[in-house]
Structure 1
Amino acid sequence: MSQPETGLSDVLFMLPPDAQLVEVGDLSLRLQAKIGPAPPGHVVVSRPGFRVTTRLVSAELARLMDRFREPRSFVEAVLDFSQAEARDPFATLEDAFDALATLVDGRVLVPADSPDAQAIAPSLAAGQAFGAYEIVLLVQALEDGEVYRALAPDETPVALKIARPGDRLSFAHEARILRQLGGGGDSPRLLELGEAHERRFLAMEWRPGAPIAAAAQQARASGDRRRLHRLVSRLLAAYGRLHARGVVHGDIHPGNILMAEDGRITLLDFGRARAGVTGGADISRAGIAHFYEPEMAAALAADRLPPAVTPKGEQAAVAALAYLLLTGLPTVDATAEHAELLVRIARRPPLPFTARGIEAWPAAEAVLIRALAKDPAERFTTMAAFAEAFAAAGPARRRTRRPPSADALLGAALDRAGEVWADASELEALRLGWLALRAALAWSDVDLLAAADVWSARAGDDWRAQAVRAHVARARCDRSGEARALEAFTQRAPPGDAPLAVLARLMDGAGARDIEPTPFATWAADRLYAAMVAGRPVMRDHLALARAGLLPLPDMLGALAALPPGAGDADLWALAHDAYAEPAFAERAAVAARRSNDIYDLLRVHQLTGETDWLVAARRQAHGAARQAPAGSLDLGLALRLIELETPYRSVRPPFDWL
């Protein structure tokens, strides 16, 4: 967007007709969970089809933005808003000017007479002629251009990239890059750079394939790590070959990569690519924040000009993409605030796979950590070296076996859990229901899940039984059953703060399962306040509830740091590290786990750090206890620990002290 010659206050701006302002509370629960905790009334501003960063704004700013549905100057909009809200217009203009200027810079508010003020709509229809080509279907529509599948005169399918009417986009730079690459490898072959109907266009070889994210999701869903490793290895090798030819892509995200059925990778959209030596600043750089290299994120967080793309910078961006393909999640936790996300990318290390509930992959993670290093000098020397290192980091075969005594003990416990017709007290039914559930999740066993359902139904009607029922309903994807059990849990929970940690575990990820969190957040806030008034410690519960998205993250960094050595257990310090990413908190969690030597603490630190030594220690302790157990004994507590060792990256401590 060209900057107006007059001051911002003199220009007529408007909110484009396709701009969407949606209150966070009106979004789907899945999207609310993805955004994370947001202040009440905050609004998400987006513009589908435009390269505009989705933003989170206050309700007050959203109401002011709504005044720009018709062309207005800043002064006119502020006067109208101030009159409607009985505010001082001078104070409002002073308070809002910087925020409005930021929205202009982000192309959310646009000059009323600019092309950006128009809604996106396809300009060509199927069957229509465009130059020598016949339009088949629209593939993508953006603010400055469209991509169509078309047919050449010989009926060969082609990809046709066309500038919008009146847009000055020339595609000359992208054509030069494609011409340099020559096609036939990881990029489509350039067919023609031309103009028709006063619109510039780029015709390229049509490459079959599906978005690489879809192929990776299929591999993750099937649990096929070898297939996933091949996929990411091919991706890295393709970028390695690109860099070896002196080109950096400049726009890394999964939408720019196709994967054919035979595994062939195609890199798309070279409009931001650079050839030769790069350096300095590049005001034109854009992209998706999760794939920014740390130096790009740091520059934007500090309001500096973004650096030009470099091979080592792109290495980190591709590593972030590889992490996403391997785990289905970004390298750092998402946050509702864009500025905070930039800070996390710039400063925080990538989360271990185990912290994402995914089995550790030490060799692959070590390669990604190096490629994602905050200091570019610590990354691989070249993209090809990165690709070679990852190719050598294939998944290892699982070799750990339980001793016969552990198999016997576990078999006895599972046999008991499967005897759903047998007599049992409510307490034993509760224990067996939880054990059957954890075993069902570890081995994907539908019969054990059915047993867990029966046992939990026979476990009485108190709050503990409702908690187990909620967990079982969640495993069965029974959303209504989970919601009923959660409501019953809050109704039956005894006075005190003991159930708060249990609720936090129950509500973890509830938004993605369409469980309305508001009544549970209110219940938790009331319980937490009562505990604080009574002088009971609330640090752990507050952190757990914040992690579950029920309460805002508390400002307790200072209070945590002031705790004396030896204070707090591994779970407290792990929650603190999850919240604040302070390395000292991870170390204190490790110290506490060594001190307790508790299997659940050891596994929690394994999840926190991804280090396998903690898993080895937990296995050693559990297998040792199984060897010492009397033959034929039925130790449900030890059996449960053995079950948790089957999927240590998803292990959880039992919600109550009854095992």
Structure 2
Amino acid sequence: MSETQPDLEHTPLILPPEARLMAVRDLAPRLRATLGPEAEDEAVVLTRPGFRVTARLLPAALAALLGEFRTASLVTEAVARFSRAEGQDPLAILDLSYPALADLVDGRLLVPAEAPEAGAAAPSLGAGQAFAGLEIEALLRALDDTEVYRARLPDGTPVALKLARDGRAAAALAEEARVLDTLSGGDTPGLVAQGIEAGRAWFAMEWCAGVPVSVAAQRLRAAGDRAGLARLVARLLDAYARLHAQGILHGDIHTGNALATEDGRVSLIDFGQARPADQGGIDLRRAGLPQFHDPQMAAALFAGRASPAATPAAEQHAVAVLAYLLLAGLHPIRPAADRMALLGRIATRPPLPFPARGVPAWPRVEAVLRRAMASRPEQRFRDMAAFARAFRAAGRSPRSTLPPPAAAVIAALWRGVLPADATPEATAWLTLRAALLTEDAEMLAFADLHAAQAGAGLVASAVAAEVARARSDPAEEAAAMRAFLAAAEPTPGAMLLAARILDGAALRGLDAAPLRDWAAATLAALPAEAATLHAALALAEAGALPAPPDLETRLAEVAGGSVWLWALAHDASALPGHLARAIAAQRPHDPLGRGLALLRLHQATGHGRWTAAARRIAAQAGTETLDGALLTLECAAPWRAMPPPWRLAAIT
């Protein structure tokens, strides 16, 4: 907790007027999907726009209690009113809610009624207004203690102006200005001027043009430019290395605090949380987004201890998380809607290999990132400079080309030569996988044509949904989802197909509630066997349903189980025993099933030996049959290999 936390027994608290309590069920589908399956419909999201806090996911009962703080109240008074209204024991409610209320006070989502921050963070200056000899152009960011504006000097030079709202941030702004002056520009904005105006501390710094590094990285990922991504991340690491070499830690690593310019330079901004690199002990003011915490800070916060002071090794970990995010487009740890669950995952789980996030393996780069994100600080690189050098060497990778066997399969498809055993829905699937591999819109149109010819039925509608998703056609995807639901049977295989269809459906704005409700009801009615647990894990992985609360107990009772079951269990819990069971699990005897099992192990571990083994099987199987042709295509993009729908439907 913060050293300035008020006495909760004697201080009236208030929920600021701009704080928002929003039911999860009322959020837009895209936002609901980002919360994951842990966010139940009854939960509530609490946010305070414009403040240095992240949104919190709250149980509905705690959110209802917070409603008592819309007017200033002591904790005991609010609990008493709530308990009377709900007919519950006030002492029990106080015991249950006190830690959560203290956490919200510490995060300044619930504040002392007399505190200045109880008011809204409205901008204090307008465009065209003069301030300290500067002309205000536009508000960039308004927080509870500071504001940032784009402004101009008298000679027209653009600058960024940062000023305190009141006396609270004066010392922090003076320290930030001192840091900028010490750094003297280059990778950071140079200090232009500073002072006190109308009792408000301020400083002006050089204007840094560019876009957030996340935007630049997304453009490079969309273009398939891995060499460009490597250069961008290398320049980012170099900038942090030069910062650390001057004895300063940034203290607030995230995508918005690094800008990329058109000419490829990277600038670091916002040094409000900067710290000396040799600081030790604890740091009660240490902040930052939870996703970028190192395991030591995450473990401390998870256990309710004070934050350890930032160190170069801790910041190296945070920068490595940022680098992973830029390269893969996703974080190295699967997100959790609940903050404490996220902290627990960061503290205990290793970073996921790229294939586990649906991204092509990059072995040398991943090895460098794993070392920089090692759980123990002494296992990381000696310093940021060593990290940057290792990454730059690992990032020099040749551009990949389509393997000759896969190219031959695709050439045959273009000539209209299909495997003799291919049904219409199988042809649609094979053509879809070829289109995704080559990113060819015309091949994708052929897949759509074959899907339309396949007719109705469980497998055909599942294939049609996948094709519609690839074509970004929500109307056709919704129609395929309805057709699937009409044909669905209460079997584990059907639920596995449903999980495939539901994966990311909310992000695409689809009404997936009927299919999700069917899956939940079917899951509850099926016997607790390995195939049912496989389906439950697949639905949880897709974000459709929460993972079973007794997951580990049920897994402990499973005898045998498939590679896919145990790989999903590993995804859910990251326990090494589950991965060992996935590797040891019996694999199918047919070439396609065995090859796909090996590719699933590649996705779980990132190791290339599984891909090599699958390619040997594909070479022996040839490309004349449907299974051989399909395995050949899947081996060309092992990070996204998946069983075809007809194999999932057959699981019982």
Does the aligned pair in 2 maintain the 1:439–1:448 contact within 8 Å?
yes
Instruction: Look up the match of 2:646.
Output: 656
Per the TM alignment, residue 595 of structure 1 is displaced from its structure 2 partner at its CA by: 7.7
Q: Does 1:605 align with 2:601?
A: yes
Instruction: Look up the match of 1:174.
Output: 176
CA separation in 2, counterparts of 1:195 and 1:625?
77
- What do residues 32-61 of structure 1 show as CA deviations (whole Å, max 9, x unaligned)? 111111233100111121111311111111
Instruction: Look up the match of 1:439.
Output: 434
In structure 2, do the counterparts of structure 1 residues 526 and 276 end up closer, same or farther at CA, with 3 Å as the change threshold? closer
CA separation in 1, counterparts of 2:491 and 2:465?
21
CA separation in 2, counterparts of 1:220 and 1:595?
35
CA separation in 1, counterparts of 2:543 and 2:277?
46
CA separation in 2, counterparts of 1:289 and 1:529?
34
Matches within 5 A, 1:451-470: 451-470=446-465
Q: Does 1:9 align with 2:23?
A: no
- What do residues 295-325 of structure 1 show as CA deviations (whole Å, max 9, x unaligned)? 1111111111111111111100100010111
Instruction: Look up the match of 1:256.
Output: 257
Matches within 5 A, 1:237-276: 237-276=238-277
Which amino acid in the other structure matches residue 287 of structure 1? G
- 2:627 aligned to 609, 627, 637, which one? 637
Higher mean displacement: 192-201 or 511-520: 511-520
In structure 2, do the counterparts of structure 1 residues 154 and 418 end up closer, same or farther at CA, with 3 Å as the change threshold? farther
Higher mean displacement: 237-246 or 81-90: 81-90
CA separation in 1, counterparts of 2:619 and 2:5?
72
Instruction: Look up the match of 2:52.
Output: 51
CA separation in 2, counterparts of 1:316 and 1:645?
33
In structure 2, do the counterparts of structure 1 residues 168 and 500 end up closer, same or farther at CA, with 3 Å as the change threshold? closer
Does the aligned pair in 2 maintain the 1:225–1:395 contact within 8 Å?
no
Matches within 5 A, 1:278-293: 278-293=279-294
Per the TM alignment, residue 562 of structure 1 is displaced from its structure 2 partner at its CA by: 4.8
Does the aligned pair in 2 maintain the 1:319–1:371 contact within 8 Å?
yes
Does the aligned pair in 1 maintain the 2:634–2:641 contact within 8 Å?
yes
CA separation in 2, counterparts of 1:352 and 1:334?
15
CA RMSD of aligned residues (A): 2.3
- What do residues 254-305 of structure 1 show as CA deviations (whole Å, max 9, x unaligned)? 1111111111221112222122522110000001011111111111111111
Which amino acid in the other structure matches residue 174 of structure 1? E
Per the TM alignment, residue 363 of structure 1 is displaced from its structure 2 partner at its CA by: 0.9
Instruction: Look up the match of 2:491.
Output: 496
Instruction: Look up the match of 1:573.
Output: 566
Does the aligned pair in 2 maintain the 1:320–1:372 contact within 8 Å?
yes
Per the TM alignment, residue 16 of structure 1 is displaced from its structure 2 partner at its CA by: 0.7
Per the TM alignment, residue 25 of structure 1 is displaced from its structure 2 partner at its CA by: 1.1
Instruction: Look up the match of 1:588.
Output: 581
Per the TM alignment, residue 396 of structure 1 is displaced from its structure 2 partner at its CA by: 2.4
Instruction: Look up the match of 1:193.
Output: 194
CA separation in 1, counterparts of 2:277 and 2:354?
36
CA separation in 2, counterparts of 1:63 and 1:312?
42
Does the aligned pair in 1 maintain the 2:14–2:71 contact within 8 Å?
yes
TM-score (norm 1): 0.93
Does the aligned pair in 2 maintain the 1:403–1:623 contact within 8 Å?
no
Q: Percent same amino acid at aligned positions?
A: 50
Per the TM alignment, residue 84 of structure 1 is displaced from its structure 2 partner at its CA by: 2.8
Does the aligned pair in 2 maintain the 1:520–1:550 contact within 8 Å?
no
Does the aligned pair in 2 maintain the 1:593–1:605 contact within 8 Å?
no
Per the TM alignment, residue 133 of structure 1 is displaced from its structure 2 partner at its CA by: 1.1
Per the TM alignment, residue 495 of structure 1 is displaced from its structure 2 partner at its CA by: 4.4
Higher mean displacement: 280-289 or 394-403: 394-403
Does the aligned pair in 2 maintain the 1:456–1:469 contact within 8 Å?
yes
Per the TM alignment, residue 563 of structure 1 is displaced from its structure 2 partner at its CA by: 4.2
Matches within 5 A, 1:504-583: 504-532=499-527, 537-554=531-548, 555-564=550-559, 567-583=560-576
Per the TM alignment, residue 403 of structure 1 is displaced from its structure 2 partner at its CA by: 5.4
Q: Does 1:339 align with 2:340?
A: yes
Instruction: Look up the match of 2:613.
Output: 617
**3-state SS of paired residue (1:602):** helix
Per the TM alignment, residue 94 of structure 1 is displaced from its structure 2 partner at its CA by: 3.4
Per the TM alignment, residue 645 of structure 1 is displaced from its structure 2 partner at its CA by: 1.9
**3-state SS of paired residue (1:39):** coil
Does the aligned pair in 2 maintain the 1:418–1:451 contact within 8 Å?
no
In structure 2, do the counterparts of structure 1 residues 369 and 316 end up closer, same or farther at CA, with 3 Å as the change threshold? same
- What do residues 328-368 of structure 1 show as CA deviations (whole Å, max 9, x unaligned)? 11110000111110111111111111111111111110000
**3-state SS of paired residue (2:561):** coil
Matches within 5 A, 1:407-426: 408=408, 411-416=411-416
CA separation in 2, counterparts of 1:168 and 1:398?
49
How many residues end up aligned between the 2 structures? 642
In structure 2, do the counterparts of structure 1 residues 647 and 403 end up closer, same or farther at CA, with 3 Å as the change threshold? closer
CA separation in 2, counterparts of 1:214 and 1:593?
44
In structure 2, do the counterparts of structure 1 residues 656 and 168 end up closer, same or farther at CA, with 3 Å as the change threshold? closer
Matches within 5 A, 1:397-416: 397=398, 402=403, 408=408, 411-416=411-416
CA separation in 2, counterparts of 1:428 and 1:594?
25
Per the TM alignment, residue 91 of structure 1 is displaced from its structure 2 partner at its CA by: 3.3
Per the TM alignment, residue 82 of structure 1 is displaced from its structure 2 partner at its CA by: 2.6
In structure 2, do the counterparts of structure 1 residues 499 and 273 end up closer, same or farther at CA, with 3 Å as the change threshold? same
Does the aligned pair in 1 maintain the 2:427–2:450 contact within 8 Å?
yes
Per the TM alignment, residue 2 of structure 1 is displaced from its structure 2 partner at its CA by: 7.7
Which amino acid in the other structure matches residue 638 of structure 1? G
Does the aligned pair in 2 maintain the 1:531–1:537 contact within 8 Å?
no
CA separation in 2, counterparts of 1:492 and 1:389?
54
- 1:449 aligned to 439, 444, 448, which one? 444
Does the aligned pair in 2 maintain the 1:174–1:271 contact within 8 Å?
yes
CA separation in 2, counterparts of 1:497 and 1:189?
61
Which amino acid in the other structure matches residue 507 of structure 1? L
Per the TM alignment, residue 155 of structure 1 is displaced from its structure 2 partner at its CA by: 2.0
Which amino acid in the other structure matches residue 241 of structure 1? R
Higher mean displacement: 600-609 or 154-163: 154-163
Instruction: Look up the match of 2:18.
Output: 18
- What do residues 481-501 of structure 1 show as CA deviations (whole Å, max 9, x unaligned)? 212211221111234333111
Higher mean displacement: 255-264 or 490-499: 490-499
CA separation in 2, counterparts of 1:455 and 1:594?
31
Per the TM alignment, residue 151 of structure 1 is displaced from its structure 2 partner at its CA by: 1.3
In structure 2, list runs of 5 or more residues that go unmatched: none
CA separation in 2, counterparts of 1:276 and 1:650?
41
CA separation in 2, counterparts of 1:60 and 1:548?
27
Which amino acid in the other structure matches residue 585 of structure 1? H
CA separation in 2, counterparts of 1:411 and 1:323?
35
Instruction: Look up the match of 1:100.
Output: 101
**3-state SS of paired residue (2:415):** helix
- What do residues 100-157 of structure 1 show as CA deviations (whole Å, max 9, x unaligned)? 2222122111111111111111100111111111111111111111111111122221
CA separation in 2, counterparts of 1:409 and 1:442?
11
In structure 2, do the counterparts of structure 1 residues 138 and 459 end up closer, same or farther at CA, with 3 Å as the change threshold? same
**3-state SS of paired residue (1:169):** helix
Higher mean displacement: 491-500 or 149-158: 491-500
Instruction: Look up the match of 1:64.
Output: 65
Q: Does 1:327 align with 2:328?
A: yes
CA separation in 2, counterparts of 1:118 and 1:172?
24
Which amino acid in the other structure matches residue 437 of structure 2? A
CA separation in 2, counterparts of 1:342 and 1:514?
29
